[in-house]
Amino acid sequence: MKRKAFSGAQRRLLAYAAVFCAVLGAVPSVGAMHIMEGYLPAGYCVAWGVLCVPFLIAGYLHIRGTLAEHRSLLTLFAVSGAFIFVISSLKIPSATGSCSHMTGTGLGAILFGPAAVSLLGLIVLLFQALLLAHGGLTTLGANTFSMAIAGPFLAYGVYFLCGKLRVNKKLSVFLAAALGDLFTYCVTAAQLAMAHHADTTPGGAFAKFLLVFAPTQLPLAVIEGILTVLIVMGLESFAAPELRKTGFLEVR
């Protein structure tokens, strides 16, 4: 699956970014989705934003390398991005009586690797923060981390693990997308709990936030899994040459 090692200059850039991140004291505590504008203290906003930088740079370099190697993959990359656009714009009623929306990042993570998806997720989050008053510019870093980094990384991990365990391919795509979606909201809950637990314990706050997101998100995660399987089936039928180039069709 690993495509191409980064060049020397690229590796140096990544290292600088990582050091920059560490120096600023961003603690990489993995934890969640759309936190509203102004709902995180400034320190947290900066810390999450900084933490995203190395991932975004790695994603940019990775996707640039991939596209330089296979120009034609641009189409598939665009489809992955468009899928996030569509999926994350659909607010769906859930069993708990409230609405939420899916992330759509699993597809890109499986096809292009999790780092590359961080860029696509950032575009969607910017669109929603600017035009929709959904999420926000101050919380962009935290939201990028949960939706465009943590979720896709988990999705990729699950897909990879399923590959090792020789799980049926459709099932592994389903699990990767669904769990990546759920994990995004878990991380959001953790991010909120880290900043807001003045009147309770961090654990207690986390449980409360998780209770808001998780039950609502569970059915949606299943839908996201199903839709991702469907689009992968479509791509397998009609875009096999591209899928071969991403490595998707050769893994097993």
Binding residue for another protein (CB under 8 A) from 10, 37, 60, 167? 37
Judged by CB under 8 A, how many residues of this single chain contact another protein?
79
Rounded-to-integer distance, Cα 230 and Cα 155, Å: 16
Cβ count within 10 A of residue 91:
13
Under 8 Å CB-to-CB from 166, ≥6 apart: which residues? 252
Using CB under 8 A as the binding rule, the residues of this chain from 78 to 97 that contact another protein are 78-79, 81-97
Q: Which is nearer to another protein, 10 or 94 (CB)?
A: 94
How far apart are the two ends of the chain, measured CA to CA in Å?
11
Whole-angstrom Cα distance, residue 69 to residue 51? 29
66 contacts another protein (rule: CB under 8 A):
no
Q: Which helix (H) or strand (E) holds 179?
A: helix 169-195
- Residue from 14, 18, 36, 53 touching another protein (CB under 8 A): that is 36
The candidate with the shortest Cα–Cα distance to 129, out of 114, 148, 116, is 148
Which pair of structure tokens corresponds to residue 30? Answer: 């993995």
Task: Verify binding: residue 39, another protein, rule CB under 8 A.
Answer: yes
Residues 210-249 that bind another protein (CB under 8 A): 212-213, 216-217, 219, 222-223, 226-227, 229-231, 233-235, 237-239, 241
**Which one among 134, 144, 148, 153 touches another protein, defined by CB under 8 A?**
134
Q: Which stretch binds another protein (CB under 8 A): 15-23, 161-169, 175-183, 205-213?
A: 205-213
Element (H, E) at 223: helix 202-238
Q: To the nearest whole angstrom, how small is the minimum distance from the Cβ of residue 68 to another protein? A: 16
Choosing from 73, 148, 190, 192, the residue that interacts with another protein (CB under 8 A) is 192
Q: Is 63 in the site for another protein (CB under 8 A)?
A: no
